[in-house]
């Protein structure tokens, strides 16, 4: 009986796969693996053009990883930093550079950097479909400016869908 159920599930997945559903987002407004990989490719191309190996992470709106890619020779610490940049952008629904501005003494988000996983320097951006945040991208490996440039290249791939 278990084998029959498993075979039925496999048949359903194969059928769904045969439909060619490679749209930017799933019907429920979630970021798809296909789109995450397109964003990662665009960010990687930018990183190659500026000569800086990066780690690029794409998360869904719940902060769950959709995909992560570490270019050859990218800093090991960038694996965690890119993940946390994306997590910060998804959870606060703002870019990490904007959060950094708001996290200064006397500003509205001062102290947020003391929360676990919060990053307050550039390289993390929410991914929006209309006004809804459906995920986030985080890039780490170069200067803040390099990280932002590569993350924006990834966002442009999403916008061009």
How many CB atoms lie under 10 A from the CB of residue 130?
Answer: 7
Can you give the pTM of this predicted structure?
A: 0.82
CA distance readout (Å), 49 to 8, 45, 57, 67, 146: 47, 6, 19, 22, 11
pLDDT at 29: 76
CATH of the domain at 47: 3.30.450.150
Residue 137 belongs to what domain range?
22-159
Confidence at 11, pLDDT banded by 50, 70, 90: very low
Residue 12: inside a domain: no
What average pLDDT does the segment 130-152 reach? 97
Render pLDDT for 43-73 as a digit per residue (tens, 0 to 9): 999 999 999 999 999 999 999 999 999 999 9
């Amino acid at each position: 009986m278990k084998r029959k159920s498993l075979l039925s599930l496999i048949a359903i997945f194969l059928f769904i796969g045969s439909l060619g559903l490679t749209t930017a987002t799933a019907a429920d407004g979630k970021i798809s693996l296909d789109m995450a990989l397109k964003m990662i490719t665009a960010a990687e191309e930018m990183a190659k053009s500026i000569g800086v190996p990066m780690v690029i992470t794409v998360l869904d709106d719940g902060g769950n990883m959709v995909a992560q890619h570490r270019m050859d020779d990218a800093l090991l610490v960038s694996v965690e930093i890119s993940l946390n940049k994306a997590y910060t952008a998804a959870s606060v629904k703002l870019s990490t550079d904007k959060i950094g501005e708001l996290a200064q003494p006397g500003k509205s988000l001062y102290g947020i950097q003391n929360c676990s996983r919060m990053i307050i320097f550039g390289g993390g951006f929410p991914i929006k479909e209309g006004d809804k945040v459906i995920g986030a991208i985080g890039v780490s490996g170069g200067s803040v400016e390099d990280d932002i440039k590569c993350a924006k290249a990834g966002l442009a791939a999403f916008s061009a869908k």
